[in-house]
Amino acid sequence: MSLVNQLIAAIFAVLIGLVSGTLYIMSESSRSILQDQLESHAQDSATHLGLYLGPFMAEDDSATVETAVNAIFDSGFYQRIIVTNAEQGILFEKSTPPEISSDIPQWFQEMVQITPPSMYREVTYQWRQVGKIYVQSSADYAYEKLWKGAQDSIILFVSLSIVCLLAISTLIRYLLRPLNKVEAQALALSEKRYIEQEKLPGTRELRRVVEAMNRMVRQVKGMFEEQARNIEDLRRNAYQDSLTGLSNQRATEAQLAERLDYRKDFGKGTLFNIHLINLQQINQQIGMDKTNNLLKHIASLLEELSRQADQGVLGRITGADFVLLTNHTDSDQLKLKLEKVDQESRKLLGQLTNTEISQPIIGIGSCECSDVSNSSQLLSEARIASDEASKEQILWKQYNNENNNTAQPQQSDWKQHVANAINQRKIFLQVQSVFSKRPSSMPIQDEIFARILDRDNKPASAGEFINLVKELGLMAEMDRAVIELALQKVNKAACPLTINLSHESLNNSDFLSWVAAQFKGIDVSGKVIFELDETSVLNNIDQITQFRKTLKTLGIGFGVDHFGVHPSGFSYLYSVQPDFVKIDGSLIREIDQNAEDRFFVSSLISVAHSLGIKAYAEHVERETQLQLLSTLEVDGSQGYLHGSPKALD
């Protein structure tokens, strides 16, 4: 029962007690008065009868006595009248049982006992006593008066009680409205949402409660923000270049290895090594501060170029070298964009040196990558090409690898094959389980990997067809196909099925409504989970927030994949509130060998747990990794240590 209802019930109970006591006192007072009236009435009647019947009683004229008594008895106000002579002989006696109206409840008669007294009068005639007259009034009249008074009091009480309760209820609800907001604050705080009441109540006690709650909300919010800042500082120190803010060499190489060596879902693309020519000479010529500004400017231009790519990788690996992985392969477009980077850089350097610079100041080496590429080899090839470009004083040099120039005469056939597979829902589904932490080590969920069967009827890796799917504009359609196929398997699955969505689906205006219609009327609570890459979440916060609300109404879970590597941090967790996050494999790869990775992953797990979000680790391949993750209180793990992906049966 709510506080308001308890207060109303307490007030009502007090009112009942007060009215009951008042009714009892009034009833007792009225009963006493009526009792006195009955006594007086009986005494007066005995006196009047005695004055009239004295002569007849002296002569023992019972007939006249009877006539007179009957006349007065028939008025209905008497229960008994007895007339005796001087020797106490009864001249006449008349009585009738009390006839109480049927309108008066029996319980009221039993609660209020009225016993009319029997009064008498000694009758004298000519100075001698001739007898006595006994009169007892009837209680009918008294009961009727008492019951009518009680009815009027009860009706008045009920009417006033209803009016009072409505008024008191409205008043209490108005006065305690701040407590409802305090309750909402507490619930929001449990969900890691921080709400403050701006309008303070006028009541002193409630004002203090609201002020205390506001202070607690600010303190908890400050603690979370401080924790986030500390972890962000740690991430910058461990994984970011201090000058440009880009990923440092270690983080860049780890992310490249994650995308190209492990996940193999990047598809075809281009890896660039951008080298600032004669960095040491420029530093001596214009000074360290201006040189740093030049490097920052180049980094910002490359960031803009990187944002145009789908999940690209950008980092600074040495003082003069930057690495950029992009999915763009059109050489003409790439050349135009890189020429713009060089022009802007030369313009700035010219302003810093007050000279006009006509030659390129950066040497760019590139090499093509595919699903079979090795990240270390690609870095080496791009570095060789950039060195050659710098020596030849040209802007861009493509690494010439005969192995990468294999002709693909059947490319158009493969493109048609991919399109048909998606449109005809001929997609092969594989799953890899996420296992709970020890000692139970039970599957928590099965993450679905979409595969297209090649001409030999074998599952092709994502890198072999993902670029074609994007080129054909079928990413959202492919997500729809995977959802439809997964729904056919969901009721027989041993654990929830996790479906990865692309950012193209989120940007598709019809996709959210399609999902709502697809799952309408289907009970999939605890059976289906949607998962999004952290970059997609950060680039579509508004759509994700709305999508998250829709999924909650449908009973569908939601998680963030590749968590912890985006330079924008993880403050989005506060608004998105996913059910779980999967820590990116680049942070897990060397966790059992690198203290910085261990501490950072531990901090990420703490942040997730502080928000009530589960934390899973991706790409666990060694027992030592799993043991360490268990000590860090990770909630689950996924990787080849538990088994390779298998067909969704």
Mean pLDDT of 127-131: 84
Query: Do residues 625 and 547 both lie within one domain?
Result: yes
Count of Cβ atoms closer than 10 Å to residue 396 Cβ: 21
β-bridge pairing 443-453 and 497-501 = parallel
642 phi and psi angles, rounded to 5 deg? -90, -10
pLDDT-derived band at 123, boundaries 50, 70, 90: confident
Which DSSP symbol is given to 456? Answer: T
Domain assignment present for 225: yes
β-bridge pairing 396-398 and 362-369 = parallel
Cα of 309 vs its chain's centroid, Å: 34
Query: In CATH, what number is assigned to the domain containing residue 97?
Result: 3.30.110.200
Domain assignment present for 14: yes
How many distinct structural domains can be found in the chain? Answer: 4
β-bridge pairing 443-453 and 428-436 = antiparallel
Structure tokens at 241: 């270049």
Domain assignment present for 122: yes
User: According to the model, what pLDDT value does residue 2 have?
Assistant: 66
Domain assignment present for 180: no
Whether the pLDDT of residue 8 is over 50: the answer is yes
Name the H helices within 120-248: 140-175, 177-190, 204-239
Task: Identify whether the C-beta of residue 430 lies closer than 8 Å to the C-beta of residue 646.
Answer: yes
Domain assignment present for 178: no
Mean pLDDT of 496-509: 89
Tell me the β-bridge partners of 528: 497
Structure tokens at 9: 């019930």
Domain assignment present for 614: yes
Domain boundary among 145, 172, 199: 172
For residue 498, what are the CA distances in angstroms to 195, 523, 617, 637? 32, 16, 15, 14
Query: Do residues 208 and 160 both lie within one domain?
Result: no
pTM reported for the whole predicted model: 0.67
Whether the pLDDT of residue 409 is over 50: the answer is no
Cα of 646 vs its chain's centroid, Å: 35
CA–CA separation, 309 and 476 (whole Å): 18
CA–CA separation, 299 and 506 (whole Å): 29
Structure tokens at 360: 């390129």
pLDDT-derived band at 520, boundaries 50, 70, 90: confident
User: According to the model, what pLDDT value does residue 529 have?
Assistant: 95
Q: Which residue has the higher pLDDT, 283 or 464?
A: 283
Work out the mean pLDDT of the chain and round it to a whole number.
84
CA–CA separation, 532 and 556 (whole Å): 13
User: According to the model, what pLDDT value does residue 567 have?
Assistant: 73
Token pair 């890189």 in the structure block, residue: 338
Task: Identify whether the C-beta of residue 446 lies closer than 8 Å to the C-beta of residue 493.
Answer: yes
Mean pLDDT of 229-240: 80
Domain boundary among 122, 137, 172: 172
What is the extent of the structural domain holding 191? 185-239
Q: What residue type is assigned to position 97 of the chain? A: P
Task: Give the model confidence (pLDDT) of 313-334 as tens digits.
Answer: 899 998 999 999 988 777 778 8
Query: Do residues 263 and 283 both lie within one domain?
Result: yes
Task: Give the model confidence (pLDDT) of 280-311 as tens digits.
Answer: 999 999 999 999 999 999 999 998 888 877 66
CA–CA separation, 417 and 426 (whole Å): 10
Query: Do residues 383 and 416 both lie within one domain?
Result: no
User: Can you say whether the dihedral through the CA atoms of 159, 162, 168, 171 is positive or negative?
Assistant: negative
Query: In CATH, what number is assigned to the domain containing residue 351?
Result: 3.30.70.270
Cα of 56 vs its chain's centroid, Å: 99
Q: Which residue has the higher pLDDT, 116 or 253?
A: 253
What SS3 state is found at 137?
strand
Domain assignment present for 445: yes
Query: Do residues 502 and 481 both lie within one domain?
Result: yes
Domain boundary among 172, 204, 219: 172
Whether the pLDDT of residue 408 is over 50: the answer is no
CA–CA separation, 543 and 547 (whole Å): 6
Query: Do residues 43 and 155 both lie within one domain?
Result: yes
CA–CA separation, 245 and 300 (whole Å): 9
For residue 238, what are the CA distances in angstroms to 248, 367, 597? 8, 28, 8
Between 451-465, 494-508, 626-640, the lowest mean confidence (pLDDT) is in 451-465
Domain assignment present for 537: yes
Between 168-182, 239-253, 320-334, 339-353, the lowest mean confidence (pLDDT) is in 168-182
% of the chain residues with pLDDT over 90 = 24
pLDDT-derived band at 479, boundaries 50, 70, 90: very high
List of residues 6+ apart from 412 with CB closer than 8 A? none
User: According to the model, what pLDDT value does residue 407 have?
Assistant: 42
Whether the pLDDT of residue 406 is over 60: the answer is no
Query: Do residues 217 and 266 both lie within one domain?
Result: no
Query: Do residues 387 and 278 both lie within one domain?
Result: yes
Query: Do residues 129 and 229 both lie within one domain?
Result: no
395 phi and psi angles, rounded to 5 deg? -75, -45
CA–CA separation, 308 and 311 (whole Å): 9
Query: Do residues 551 and 455 both lie within one domain?
Result: yes
pLDDT-derived band at 521, boundaries 50, 70, 90: confident
User: According to the model, what pLDDT value does residue 76 have?
Assistant: 61
Task: Give the model confidence (pLDDT) of 570-603 as tens digits.
Answer: 778 878 889 999 999 999 989 999 888 999 899 8
List of residues 6+ apart from 511 with CB closer than 8 A? 476, 479, 480, 505
pLDDT-derived band at 192, boundaries 50, 70, 90: low
Instruction: For Cα atoms 522, 523, 528, give the angle at the middle one, nearest 5 degrees.
Output: 100
Whether the pLDDT of residue 186 is over 60: the answer is yes
Query: In CATH, what number is assigned to the domain containing residue 624?
Result: 3.20.20.450
Q: What residue type is assigned to position 437 of the chain? A: K
Instruction: Give which of 616, 564, 633, 625 is closest to 445, Cα–Cα.
Output: 616
In a 13 Å sphere around the CA of 378, the CA atoms on its Cβ side amount to: 27
Structure tokens at 568: 């924008």
Q: Which of 275-284, 395-404, 565-574 has the highest mean pLDDT?
A: 275-284
SS3 string, 241-272, reads: CCCCCCECHHHHHHHHHHHHHHHCCCCCEEEE
User: Can you say whether the dihedral through the CA atoms of 564, 259, 588, 254 is positive or negative?
Assistant: negative
Task: Identify whether the C-beta of residue 349 lies closer than 8 Å to the C-beta of residue 361.
Answer: yes
Task: Give the model confidence (pLDDT) of 347-383 as tens digits.
Answer: 999 988 888 888 899 999 999 887 667 888 899 999 9
Instruction: Give which of 422, 375, 424, 382 is closest to 589, Cα–Cα.
Output: 375
Cα of 352 vs its chain's centroid, Å: 54
Query: Do residues 219 and 265 both lie within one domain?
Result: no
Query: Do residues 209 and 297 both lie within one domain?
Result: no
